[in-house]
Structure 1
Amino acid sequence: MTTDAEGETPARHARQVRVVSTSSCAAAVPIQPAAARAAVTVVEPGSKRGWAAVGAIALGAFIVVMTETMPVGLLPRIGDGLHVSLGLAGLMVLVPGFSAAVSAPLFFLSSGRFDRRSVILVLGVTVLVSNAIVAVAPNFVVVLIARMFFGATLGAFWTVVSPVGPKLVGPAGGTRAITIVAAGISGGTVVGLPAGQFLGDLVGWRLTFATAAAATLLVVVAQAFVLPGIPPDGRTHLRDLVGVVTRRAARLGMAAGAVVFIGQFTAWTYITPFLLDHTHLSGGVISLLYVIYGCGGIVGSLVAGSLFKRGVIGSFAGAATIVAALLIGLASAGTLSWLAGLLFVLWGLFWGIVNPGTLVWILDAAPETPEAASAVNVTNLQIALAVGSGAGAILVSSTTLPTVFLTAGLIVLASAVLAGVSARFLTLARRE
């Protein structure tokens, strides 16, 4: 719940949410009252089919997040293969961000009447087609078109998948279902980037995307067999989105989140060439560091739950300050490979706190409409992601890789300062 100087009063019976996050965004998972959850269960509670469906949803989450993060480890190879600069190749990260930013609120407003089973299957097919097109693309323009469609899928995915798990198994298994889906998301985060790096070394970037397309096909087929019909909750309204952004606490949270994401993705988009060309680490070592980075992010997200009980804004500001220091440290690490590796791993740990903090802040500003807050957050952060990737592309084309990371660190530090100032006149209640 949120109070601020404008006297906003939160609803007495606001729904609680659980937060599931990835390297690029976070999603709110509403926890409905028991009676409501029982009413919307779509299969017999606790049935094998229900749990199989939850597993299929988790696999879909794994594929989507893997597809999202995989190109970061392949940018140098894609640039060489299609004869484009490293900065231009970075558009593979920027373009999906803009697409997701547009699709999240549009899907929120237009998807109220569609069966969620059909929506999930269509989204899976779109991911499959996107990966397949990238695998055979004759030029970089076609690659960007395919990634644009994937970005639209990404925004819709985070909007629709959040409340599905508890519907499939009933109230008693709702928490476990959320945990399983979260495991799929975390697995995709951990696997995507190192898988791209490893398979790129082994078979090339085209076969890497072809492999991702084949894996997506298997998941869609499995979902078609096990997912039951999942009726929607009902139509959604523009006023819910407007209601989120008119609150000062939400606007400040959006500003802090946007700035920190701009800084994060100014650096993150070009982490592979930084470790290869500046730190001179081998491909195998980099793949291992990516796995450790991802695992650190999972640990950070778990720790964040306890920290947020003590204060969301303070936890966000503190973690963002450390991330800024780590990025500036990476810019100064030079060829000290052991130090660069240590700073990189710690970056993953503390980003695991910052990332969900961006959403929790906004959710506490609009507790009555968590789905609308989540959609607004996806749009805000995906635009920031795209801006950050674009800023990195400009910098990497005109300066040096250490300058990119130094600039990114200063941007993240600005977000920490904004959060610290906001904490002086915003009060977020401790979360249970």
Structure 2
Amino acid sequence: MTKQNNLLIAILTLGVFAIINTEMGVIGILPLIADNFHISISKAGLLVSLFALAVAISGPIMPLLFSGINRKKVMLFVLGIFLLGNIVSVFTSSFTVLLIARVIPGFFHPIYCSLAFTAASASVSEEEAPKAVAKVIMGVSAGMVLGVPITSFIASVTSLGMAMSFFAVVNAIAFIVTFLFVPSMPVNERLSYGVQLSVLKKSILWLSIIAVILMNGAVFGVYTYLAEYLKIVTNVPEKIISVMLLIYGVANIIGNIVAGKLLSKNAIKFVVSFLFALGVVYIILFLIGQFTVPMALITLVWGILGGAGANINQYWITSAAPEAPDFANGLFLTSANLGTTIGTSVCGLFISGIGTQYIVLGGLLFLILSIVSVLLRVYTFSPTKSLFN
């Protein structure tokens, strides 16, 4: 890639980080939000699940609507919306206002992320595309590395308002860097809406969408409540929770790097292996999650798999509709966030129904169903490909 392309990908990665930081950063402070607004932890979880639902609803629509507009202007517009929402979140004393200030930006999330994935993929050869996309998806992991544990740490040593300010500052930096260093990016030609929508006729795409919903539900249904799990089940103090979340986030970056390489070699084998490995981690988590040191090791391995899962989800859908990359990336974002919404809600029911420890059972339920859907696609549409060669 040229230096200009490298700079563009770096800025796109920063922008994705800013957006994911807003989306996922609250995971580390959900217990504090619940205490501050005098609500239950499951209601505080709406800040994650409804944001994800907004992304899921707008994912197939918004990237299409904005596909003909100068991409730099689109990037600045979306980052501006997120910045405004974060500023409102800092000063509000109403949970309803906080929820609205988070959900509205969620509708614009797919525009920026779809643009980022498509631009990264288009900058290299088809074989190298998973690696290029993995660099941008690192912004997702960085959102967890910095967003979740640092927000948790800031809240524990200062205040909830200061933690919320971290989201606003990061988005402001991304906005300024984009304004100063990204050249004008007019769209010279684009696929018609009809051509892009025609991929919805493909049964392999729908099977892939179902698989991604289930896979992301399996990961984030449990991860969303990791801070609560560490507090109630593992019984560790707030500052140690921040360290555990940092371990998960750093491991995510390792997972991104590994996934980018392995998807380029034998994608099917890697996807199936990922699912069974995550199942083993969840079983171990359920059995010994109450012990601090083993929990730290579990979190490390779990984080590597969680990072790889983001790459797998993006690949699984875009590989089913390579002829419409923008729309496919929008569908990926919709599917992944719908999975987050459903997974968070279902695992929240496990918490309120039988206890925090049993959120793992919700994750395993989604995981079993995702294994079935992935194997169904493999043996229906790639019957000549071996899982093990």
TM-score (norm 1): 0.80
Q: Which has the higher helix share?
A: 2
Answer yes or no: is the 8 Å Cα contact 2:134–2:260 preserved in 1: no
Name the counterpart of 1:360.
315
The structure 1 residue matched to 2:232, chosen from 260, 277, 301, is: 277
Cα distance change on mapping 1:254 and 1:398 into 2, 3 Å: same
TM-score (norm 2): 0.88
The structure 2 residue matched to 1:401, chosen from 353, 356, 360, is: 356
The structure 1 residue matched to 2:57, chosen from 92, 95, 102, is: 102
RMSD over equivalenced CA pairs, Å: 2.8
The structure 1 residue matched to 2:27, chosen from 61, 72, 90, is: 72
Name the counterpart of 2:259.
304
Q: For each residue in 1:345-403, what CA deviation from the matched residue of structure 2 results, as whole angstroms up to 9, or x when unmatched?
A: 11111223333222222222222222221111111221121111121222222220111
Name the counterpart of 1:286.
241
1:324 aligns with 2:265: no
1:335 aligns with 2:310: no
Separation of aligned partners in 2, 1:175 and 1:390: 31
Give the C-alpha shift of residue 236 in structure 1.
4.3
Name the counterpart of 1:41.
none
Count of residue pairs brought into register by the alignment: 381
Report 1:124-135 matches (<5 A).
Answer: 124-135=79-90
Give the C-alpha shift of residue 148 in structure 1.
0.7
Answer yes or no: is the 8 Å Cα contact 1:267–1:408 preserved in 2: yes
Cα distance change on mapping 1:255 and 1:219 into 2, 3 Å: closer
The structure 1 residue matched to 2:335, chosen from 355, 380, 389, is: 380
Cα distance change on mapping 1:256 and 1:52 into 2, 3 Å: closer
Name the counterpart of 1:345.
300
Answer yes or no: is the 8 Å Cα contact 2:151–2:166 preserved in 1: no
Name the counterpart of 1:15.
none
Separation of aligned partners in 1, 2:334 and 2:178: 27
Name the counterpart of 1:12.
none
Separation of aligned partners in 2, 1:151 and 1:359: 18
Separation of aligned partners in 1, 2:329 and 2:248: 25
Give the C-alpha shift of residue 151 in structure 1.
1.0
Give the C-alpha shift of residue 109 in structure 1.
2.0
Separation of aligned partners in 2, 1:273 and 1:253: 31
Q: For each residue in 1:72-95, what CA deviation from the matched residue of structure 2 results, as whole angstroms up to 9, or x when unmatched?
A: 001000011001100000000011
Answer yes or no: is the 8 Å Cα contact 1:124–1:220 preserved in 2: yes
Separation of aligned partners in 1, 2:3 and 2:361: 51
Name the counterpart of 2:94.
139
Q: Which has the higher strand share?
A: 1
Name the counterpart of 1:113.
68
Structure 2 counterpart of 1:252, one-letter code: L
Answer yes or no: is the 8 Å Cα contact 1:115–1:229 preserved in 2: yes
The 10-residue stretch of structure 1 (110-119 or 193-202) with the greater mean CA deviation from structure 2: 110-119
The gaps in structure 1 that reach 5 residues or longer are 1-30, 32-44
Cα distance change on mapping 1:312 and 1:163 into 2, 3 Å: closer
Structure 2 counterpart of 1:93, one-letter code: V
Name the counterpart of 2:365.
410
Structure 1 counterpart of 2:341, one-letter code: A
Separation of aligned partners in 2, 1:77 and 1:372: 38
The gaps in structure 2 that reach 5 residues or longer are none
Structure 1 counterpart of 2:209, one-letter code: M
Counting aligned pairs with the same residue, the percent is 23
The structure 2 residue matched to 1:91, chosen from 23, 30, 46, is: 46
The structure 2 residue matched to 1:370, chosen from 319, 325, 344, is: 325
Q: For each residue in 1:238-266, what CA deviation from the matched residue of structure 2 results, as whole angstroms up to 9, or x when unmatched?
A: 43443333222222222111112122222
Report 1:54-69 matches (<5 A).
Answer: 55-69=10-24
Give the C-alpha shift of residue 54 in structure 1.
5.2
Separation of aligned partners in 2, 1:277 and 1:258: 28
Report 1:92-241 matches (<5 A).
Answer: 92-164=47-119, 181=136, 183-241=138-196
Give the C-alpha shift of residue 267 in structure 1.
0.9
Cα distance change on mapping 1:140 and 1:351 into 2, 3 Å: same
Separation of aligned partners in 2, 1:380 and 1:224: 31
Separation of aligned partners in 1, 2:144 and 2:116: 17
Cα distance change on mapping 1:165 and 1:377 into 2, 3 Å: closer
